[in-house]
Amino acid sequence: GVLKSEVADVVVNALAPIRDRANELMSDTTELDRLLASGAEKARTVAEATLADVYEKVGFIRAT
């Protein structure tokens, strides 16, 4: 009905900026690769700190 159509319009409009940004990134693979590498480095930094904390708490000695 009418409510379903109005909700669909709201959802489509709310997601438009996300869709537009995704389309920009897909057309600029250099920027996409840069962002992915940056995100991977941030994740690696967080993961290393988390693992170091876990190793210390469970008494593991981390090989260097």
Structure-token match 């991977």, residue found: 40
Q: How far is CA 40 from CA 3, 14, 36, 43, 60, in A?
A: 42, 28, 6, 5, 25
Per-residue pLDDT at 1: 85
CA 6 to centroid of chain Cα atoms: 30
DSSP 8-state code for residue 2: H
| Structural domain includes residue 40 | yes
Identify which has the larger pLDDT, 63 or 22. 22
Q: What's the domain range around 7?
A: 2-58
CB 53, CB 60: distance < 8 Å: no
Overall pTM surpassing 0.75 (yes/no)? no
Tens of pLDDT, residue by residue over 4-60, are: 999 999 999 999 999 999 999 999 999 999 999 999 999 999 999 999 999 999 988
| Structural domain includes residue 46 | yes
Based on the structure, what is the number of domains in the chain?
1
